[in-house]
Amino acid sequence: MNTFVTGGYETAEYLYYALNELDKQCSIWPVRGGITETKQGYYVGPRRIESYSLHIVKEGMVRVEWDPEKSVTLSSGDIFCLFPMRTYTYYAIEGEPPPKMSWIVIDGPRAAEILKPTGISSENPFLEGKWTQEAELAVNGLFRLMRGTETETANVLSLEMQSLLYCLFAALCRTVPKAQSLETADWVKQSMSYIRQHALEGITVQQAARTAGMNRTYYSVAFAKKVGMSPNDFITQVRMDSAKRLLAETNASITEVAFTTGYSSLYAFTRTFKNRFSLTPTAYRETIWKGM
């Protein structure tokens, strides 16, 4: 649904999104959005909101103030975010072109976590020169859906919204320098999670390194320093832990366990298992089952 407001110091289109049950099961969702063209004298605040509001400066200049004595002057291509229940003031600057802005308000249990990798924080709630054509396309798509011109079912509309929201945040994350991105996202935890997810599919250290955005040598040294074991040993550990569960809790054959845990042959699996536990897979299963 949309509402047009004209008067005072702005002309604005306000767009509102009606949440459905599928939206509420997601990590993040849109609340409202809009486009505003302001005049000299435009002034908002001090104010607080309950969600996260991304403002994109399309033209002109705007002054944003938050916390005691913190402020920034932003212009075309810059972004600022109002964080929940924080006090903000923003306004047109006397003698400068007043701002034309668009904004999208988001909420959800993981909104803060999804926003964090973009480099925006409550301490520094802005990005300079980071608005891109990719981000613009995503926001325009969200606005199109909010205007209610689509004839999709509620569930299809919700999934479309989700897709565009993630496209928007992916576009913002793409502007973050690689080193900063790695530090912010904690690449070690991400890499360990990636290995746990795919170790049984036969992934290699080279694949894990490529996913982390590093060459294999640097990745292996850095991973071992952080985790206390090499990435190859960690892959083996994940596979062996899974093998032990399958041997103890199912009647799957030893060959099936070998292939299920990412080994290309029964011999390679048996040799690795015996080297690690000093028992063959068959002997391990017999020992566990006898103890039950």
pLDDT tens, 159-177?
999 999 999 999 999 888 7
**Strand 100-107, strand 29-38: pairing:** antiparallel
**Lateral strand order in the sheet of 79-82:** 2-7, 10-16, 29-38, 100-107, 52-59, 79-82, 126-127
pLDDT band at 84 (very low <50, low <70, confident <90, very high): very high
Average of per-residue pLDDT across 212-230: 90
* In the chain, % of residues over pLDDT 90: 69
Locate 146 and state its tokens. 């909010």
* 150 or 253: which leads in pLDDT: 253
In this structure, what are the phi and psi dihedrals at residue 239, rounded to the nearest 5 degrees? -65, -40
Q: What is the pLDDT of residues 45-65, one digit of tens each?
A: 899 999 999 999 999 999 999
Question: Looking at this protein, which amino acid is placed at residue 68?
Answer: P
Locate 221 and state its tokens. 């040294």
Measured CA to CA, the distance from residue 258 to residue 250 in angstroms comes to 13
How far does the chain reach from its first CA to its final CA, in angstroms?
63
**Strand 100-107, strand 52-59: pairing:** antiparallel
Measured CA to CA, the distance from residue 99 to residue 176 in angstroms comes to 25
What's the chain's average pLDDT?
90
pLDDT value for 10: 86
Indicate if the pLDDT at residue 4 is higher than 60.
no
Q: Are 194 and 61 in contact (CB under 8 A)?
A: no
User: In angstroms, what CA-CA distances link 280 with 247, 272, 275, 284?
Assistant: 11, 9, 9, 6
Of the given ranges (103-112, 144-153, 258-267), which has the lowest mean pLDDT?
A: 144-153
Measured CA to CA, the distance from residue 150 to residue 157 in angstroms comes to 8
pLDDT value for 184: 44
**Helices 154-173 + 133-146 axis angle, to 10:** 160
The alpha helices in 186-215, defined as continuous H runs, are 187-198, 205-212
User: In order of start, what are the domains of the chain with their CATH numbers?
Assistant: 2-177 (2.60.120.10), 186-292 (1.10.10.60)
Average of per-residue pLDDT across 79-87: 94
Residues 6+ away with beta carbon under 8 Å from 61:
73, 74, 75, 92, 93, 96, 97, 98, 99
Average of per-residue pLDDT across 219-234: 92
Average of per-residue pLDDT across 220-227: 91
Residues 6+ away with beta carbon under 8 Å from 279:
273, 287
Q: What is the pLDDT of residues 260-290, one digit of tens each?
A: 999 999 999 999 999 999 999 999 999 988 7
Average of per-residue pLDDT across 103-124: 91
pLDDT value for 202: 86
Indicate if the pLDDT at residue 192 is higher than 50.
yes
Q: What is the pLDDT of residues 174-189, one digit of tens each?
A: 888 765 555 544 788 8
Indicate if the pLDDT at residue 2 is higher than 80.
no
Residues 6+ away with beta carbon under 8 Å from 46:
87, 88, 89
- ∠ CA(98), CA(99), CA(103), 5° rounding? 155
Q: Which DSSP string do the residues of 46-113 spell out, in sequence order? A: EE--SSEEEEEEEESEEEEEETTTEEEEEETT-EEEEPTT--EEEEEPTTSPPPEEEEEEEESTTHHH
User: In angstroms, what CA-CA distances link 234 with 26, 212, 220?
Assistant: 32, 15, 11
pLDDT band at 292 (very low <50, low <70, confident <90, very high): low
